[in-house]
Amino acid sequence: MKSIDNIHIISINIYYSSAIVELYSEFSVMKEKMVLFPSILILFATARCVFLQTPEAPLNYRLQPIYRPYLYIIDLTFPQNVFTATDNAYNGNVSIEFSVINDSSIIELHVNRQYLDIQSVFLSSFGNVSEANVTASTSFNNITDIMTIHQNITHGTNYTLDITFKGMLSTTDMLGFYKSSYTNSTGAEKYLATTQFQPTSARRAFPCFDEPAFKAQFDITLRIPEDMTALSNSLRSTTSPQIAVEGLLEVNFERTPRMSTYLIAFVISDFDCTNTPAQIDNVAHRICSRQEANSTRNWAEEIGPQVLASLNNYTQINYNQYMSKLDQIAIPDFSAGAMENWGLVTYREENLLWDPEDSSNLQKQRIATVIAHELAHQWFGNLVTMEWWSEIFLNEGFATFFEYFSTHDVLPQWELDKQFVVNVVQGALRFDVLESIEALQSKVSTASEASAKFNTISYSKGGSIFRMVEHVMGASDFRLGLQAYLKTHEFNNTIPENLWTILNEHINSTYSNINETLDVVIDNWIKNPGFPLVTAALDGNTVTLTQSRFLLSGNGSASEWFVPISYTTSLDGNKFTSTLPRVWLRPNSTPVEISLPENSTWIILNNQLTGFFRVNYDKTLWSRIDMALRTENFGDIHELNRAQIIDDLFNLARTNRMKYSEVFRLIEFLSNDTSYFSWTPAFNGFNFLLERVGRESTLGTSISNHLVPLMTNLYDSTPITTLNETDQIYSLKQALAYSWACLLNNQACTQHSRTQYTEYRANGTRPNKNLRSTVYCTALRHSNDSGDWEFLWNEYSKATLATEKTTILNALGCSMNVTLLERYLNMTLNDTSGIRSQDRYTVFMSVLSRNTLGIDVAARFLINNHTEIIEKYQSLNSVTNMLTNLANKLTTQEQIDMLRNLTASSNLENEYVTVANAIITTAEANLRWTQQFEEDLNEYYEISTTTPTTKAPTTTSGPVTTTPDPNGGTSRVIQKNMIELLVVISVVSWYSLY
């Protein structure tokens, strides 16, 4: 799910860096699902779970594993009024055929009674003519969503539960079965009904055994108004003609494969689809959307079949063996990025619809990779499904892996194999650094905990671990193992051990250079949080390797891993080509020694960053690497290893393992490096520094002045006047360099942006699509004319293309006018403003992240409007993510002490303290960083410590309604109020989700 921008979930995914100006609110995928969750989310979920329990009788959110459903017959009726603003009710009946493996005195299944009103319940057994009305013996737990029927059932008997109910479409969030709307070309408001069941919301649409292991087949019938169209997972039945009765059209669908409830989907709308579906092995592939967007379907229509063919070839299990059609549909309101419903994949419009004139190359890539992510799920998740949400990385890790590598197979010139390293692997390494982070496989009980597993760990770390295993095994053996895994477990559920067992049958121990089974090798990577730091020390010609856990606190732990070590020396002929493990570091074992060849001048570990770990060298080895990087062609050091060196250096300094002055000396080679892959982590590293010290501070100005000449060659290598949209990496690099040059107030860059924007206002000529987001943002940031902001807002109101609307929403927060920013945020609480519920979080993050001034504005807005925000911000987990991002701004001991005092004086249970401590962890890390490194940076930049290193932000127009903190951060009054709200809102926000 959610390639999270993604959620699949995704706080906010700044796809390249916060300066690139193209913000995404889902995964990444994140991809689609979403995503990027900090560990604090899991603690919020745990708090919600425990608050709802009593010490005497802990609640059980799971069904007994005794049920074996095998067929659902679902019949839903939607009157015409459902597709108006006034009515949301539909009628339903579901018959569930099932058996049990043990005798029982009860039957349990899931029903969310906020949306379903059960009318009657009948139970019958095969061979028994009479049905038993068991309605009266039915009870409900509205916390666990479990409906209990008190009736004896026996092993060896097949039963049918027949349940009649009234359903209600949700209009308060975008989960379960919900209503969406859009304005058509004539200005009329049109309504549709659509679904988002993952992870635990099928129970909102019909009674069911709503856990992934309870797979069954589904016969679906939808009765809809004659002017509407119904889509579901399978084709319309050819044996049951459509019948119109009392103005409603009865649509029957073919029986589905055996599948989990969370993959069922219905969409009832007036949408249409591509007229001539592409055919891949007799599978009809269609792109569906509102009719006004039909001209933007071409890219998805083109790339989808190519990706599907690539996956067919890789898995050697053709999609047409279990599905006869593939519809991909753009939904106007969608909480995630996309959802892999089998045969009917749903998307946010911006993740499926692309306009060659007005959508950027980055957005084109985003659509291709999100499609690849969702189509990979058709095998990894749909055909073979994890047993429970604890192991969601088996779904999302593989989808993230193929999101890049299947698209790379189709479009190798995009170099997505390299992009995977700087986007996914390094993103996960930067995230997985706190003591409180949970492992890939961790306990899940409640619906909230299930949602919290859709995070950076499941997506990006999961995908990175699978890539590491691929390089340990070799690509061909890894592929053969996955083919066997899918074939062995098709239509069933798995746990990680099932995967390791089959992969182990295909591993060549001579190639992998290890004498352990794969389940032993991989165990710590899956069941323990974090990752290792490998330290290399030179003594003579011997390099000694040791390992410890890499933590943001800088304090390593006893956690250790089987670490595959590939390496390259200066004398190797095919440098960095081989990624097979040459030696292994083992848990709880003696250090490993590598003998350097005579006359070798340097060694670099972890070729092409295939292992999920960081590396630190002693001073001698760093000095030798430094000398190599200063030579022609950087000593033939691979650009991915240059990216690795840069990212490791910045994070070694961040954790006080190295001085920033040393880092700056070692990365001086960047002045000659114009590789997109070197500069992506470099900008991430500098962005962290600027965010922490404040861009407008004296120290921030010094860092900016340091970066400007360092990136001169990069900026000159992609001149503004030279566009090359057919070269993907050039276009991405140009957008990256241009955005940073303008952010650092490069005069030529800012002037070009302002000129382009002036021409746009004057004659309607839009800036180049790949540079447009930077032009918009830079022009507003440097504008003294509120009319510039009003013009762009009006352009947003008129725009019908989702990618353009997203670009504008992200840019509007760049303004330095407090009044406009406050107005912008308040628009998100106004249902008639034109800002969709799915985009409200994007607006908040735009204001918060685009300039220092926005921090105050965003904090006040959250404090003053938290009740309405919880109600109206409907993107999945958006309120919690807002809190997390604000918590990252707390950087003084006074703030931390206030939070501690608030916790100590509270009458709540220990779980309250758990949530508060998660926020304290973040704040303390920020405080430690400031205390440890500001002096070092001031010394490096020769800034006198007697002079304030920061200055208050200024505005170009509009009143400032609070006194700026002298340290350039959020005002103390606002921060105090924000702290008092953090824990309250964090817990309440979880109640609003379920």
pLDDT digits (tens, 9 = 90+) for 375-402: 999 999 999 999 999 999 999 999 999 9
Per-residue confidence band for 920, with pLDDT thresholds at 50, 70 and 90: low
Instruction: Round to whole Å and give the CA distance between 251 and 266.
Output: 12
Is 396 annotated as contributing to ligand binding? Answer: yes
Weakest-pLDDT range from 57-61, 85-89, 664-668: 57-61
Which pLDDT score, from 0 to 100, does residue 556 have?
Answer: 64
Per-residue pLDDT at 912: 35
Give residue 696's pLDDT: 82
pLDDT at residue 19 is higher than 60: no
Percentage of the chain exceeding pLDDT 90: 71
What is the per-residue pLDDT for 543? 98
When pLDDT is averaged across residues 867-882 and rounded to a whole number, the result is 71
* Average pLDDT of the segment spanning 932-959: 65
Confirm whether residue 782 is marked as ligand binding: no
Q: What is the mean pLDDT of residues 542-547?
A: 96
CB 502 within 8 A of CB 484: yes
Is 706 assigned a ligand-binding role in the annotation? no
pTM for this entry: 0.90
Of 90-99, 666-675, 867-876, 941-950, least confident by mean pLDDT is 941-950
Q: Give the model confidence (pLDDT) of 680-734 as tens digits.
A: 999 999 999 988 888 888 899 999 999 999 999 999 999 998 999 999 999 999 9
Averaged pLDDT, 436-453: 90
- Mean pLDDT: which of 239-253, 388-402, 512-526 is highest? 388-402
Query: Within 10 Å of residue 600's Cβ, how many Cβ atoms?
Result: 15
pLDDT for 863 beyond 90: no
Given a cut of 80, whether residue 365 has pLDDT beyond it is: yes
Assess whether pLDDT exceeds 50 at residue 745: yes
Q: Which of 22, 32, 97, 374 is catalytic?
A: 374
Q: What is the pLDDT of residue 28?
A: 34
> Which segment, 22-36, 392-406, 422-436, 867-881, is predicted with the most confidence on average?
392-406
pLDDT of residue 930: 72
Distance in angstroms (rounded) separating the CA atoms of residues 993 and 200: 11
Q: Does the pLDDT at position 41 exceed 50?
A: no
Cis amide prior to 30 (ω within 30 degrees): yes
**H-type helices in 211-345, by residue range?**
298-315
Q: Active site includes 374?
A: yes
Cis peptide before 199 (omega within 30 of 0): yes
3-class SS string, 299-365: HHHHHHHHHHHHHHHHHCCCHHHCCCEEEEEEECCCCCCEECCCCEEEEEHHHCCCCCCCCCHHHHH
Token reading at 930 = 């400031």
Query: Whose CA is closest to 341, among 201, 181, 163?
Result: 201
- Per-residue pLDDT tens for 964-983? 333 334 444 444 444 444 43
Phi, psi of 832 (to 5 degrees): -105, 10
Q: Phi first, then psi: give them for residue 74, nearest 5 degrees.
A: -105, 130
Q: Above 50 in pLDDT, residue 513?
A: yes
Over the stretch 118-164, which tens digit does the pLDDT of each residue have?
999 999 998 665 678 999 999 999 999 999 999 999 999 999 999 99
- Is the pLDDT assigned to residue 898 strictly greater than 60? no
Q: What pLDDT was estimated at residue 130? A: 64
CB 429 within 8 A of CB 651: yes
Q: Average pLDDT of the chain?
A: 86
Confidence check: pLDDT of 439 > 70: yes
Three-state SS at 675: coil
Q: What is residue 114's predicted lDDT score, i.e. its pLDDT?
A: 96
CA dist., res. 716 & res. 671, Å (int): 11
pLDDT at residue 880, rounded to an integer: 66
